[in-house]
Amino acid sequence: MKKAKRNLRKAQRKFHAKKRCSDLENIMNATDDTTFYKLVRKQRSTSRHLTNCLLNEGRKLTSPEEISDGWGKHFETLATPINDQRYDHFYLKQATKDLNHLQIAFQTSGKTVAETDVPEVECAVAKLNNNKAADYMGLTAEHLKYGGAAIYLPCAGEDNQQNV
């Protein structure tokens, strides 16, 4: 699969390189000012690398509206929790055990943990460095930063969640 992706991207890069060369050639060979400036404007525009075809759930989407809707549905599906057999129930069980162990340890030690509020968590997350290695779950600082309130609410104390 990786090799197929690499070959696809390689073919795409070659195609775009040839297109750039032909566009530059056309600019150099333009005989009148109107054609010259039209080609220069076209080359400077950033909209020429948009996807014109997307395969989503076995359907081929070709119009810009369909592609936009397809991406929207794709990311909505990614954000919606589902019951899947591939879900790692062992990890959930282990995380629950770890949480219970920590709660018991804090209760028996007599120490208290100060409640945090949403602005405090947001400030801490904003200070995280970008472009660092992911943790063992594959999460990076960017996931936390761009995740928004859905990420901050579980970290803040229950009493402070209504202030969001």
pLDDT digits (tens, 9 = 90+) for 22-52: 877 877 787 788 877 777 777 677 655 556 7
Q: Which two tokens stand for residue 50?
A: 């948009």
Task: Tell me the residue type at 3.
Answer: K
Alpha-carbon span 16 to 92, nearest angstrom: 46
Q: What's the whole-model pTM score?
A: 0.34
Q: Where are the domains of the chain?
A: 1-49, 50-81, 111-164
The pLDDT of residue 50? 57
Which of 49, 50, 24, 17 has its CA nearest to residue 39? Answer: 24
Instruction: Find the distance separating the first CA and the last CA of the chain, reported in whole Å.
Output: 43
Q: Please, what is the average pLDDT of the chain? A: 77
